[in-house]
Amino acid sequence: MSNTLVSMISSSFLETIIMVLVSGGIGSALGIPLGILLFVTDKKSFMPMPKFHFCLAIVINALRSIPFIILLVAIIPFTRLVVGSSIGTAAAIVPLTIAVAPFIARIVETSLREVDKGLVEAAQAMGASNAQIVCKVLLPEALPGILAGLTIATVSLIGFSAMAGVVGGGGLGDLGIRYGYQRFMPEVMWPVVFVLIVLVQGLQSLGDYLVRRLSHK
């Protein structure tokens, strides 16, 4: 493997990491509160707001129903408005965030539904406020499930970031498409595939390890 190829893969790998970490961080900051809202405002929960829950669920389901490659192209004007460009690593972060936030919201909602309702009822009987129930009962109990879901979301983001290469989003996907596909250079394509596999395996293993630690604390 030539020094030039190593340099290109290293640079693209760093771009992929930046895209995944930034979009995953912002997506989590948006998705976790949305997931909590979806759970607590359900008609069977302790803060029922059926109309609000219905509207929020529609918006989240609508965003989740759009294939990422279509979303990538559809929001190009919005991406340009936010970052001033529709190509590059910064531009790819915008659709990646919009794609992953509703996914994380549903993961959080599902994890919270798995918490024993008896714990919530016990907290209410002891006079806990709604905020205390969420922060001190629901989230700690649901944390292993949420973390497992976030691991899946992060792995999905790696795949999405590779798709962003179709429109010049940067990262390993962009490198693989420009050299491996458009120029038909398998000596570039296969190392890119190998790095992506190693990256996914590493992140999944780390996520599984953390979930096991939290589950046996």
Closest to 192 in 3D by CA, of 24, 18, 5, 22: 5
Whole-structure pTM value: 0.88
- Domains of the chain from N-terminus onward: 3-215 (1.10.3720.10)
The pLDDT, as a whole number, for residue 165 is: 76
The model's pLDDT over 28-44, given as tens digits with 9 standing for 90+, comes to: 999 999 999 999 999 88
Provide the pLDDT confidence category of residue 144 given band limits of 50, 70 and 90: very high
Whether residue 4 contacts residue 191, with contact meaning beta carbons closer than 8 Å, is answered with no
Residue 159 tokens read as: 């795949």
What's the rounded Cα separation, in Å, for the pair 129 and 42?
17
Which residue shows structure tokens 């429109």?
A: 167
Whether residue 148 contacts residue 159, with contact meaning beta carbons closer than 8 Å, is answered with no
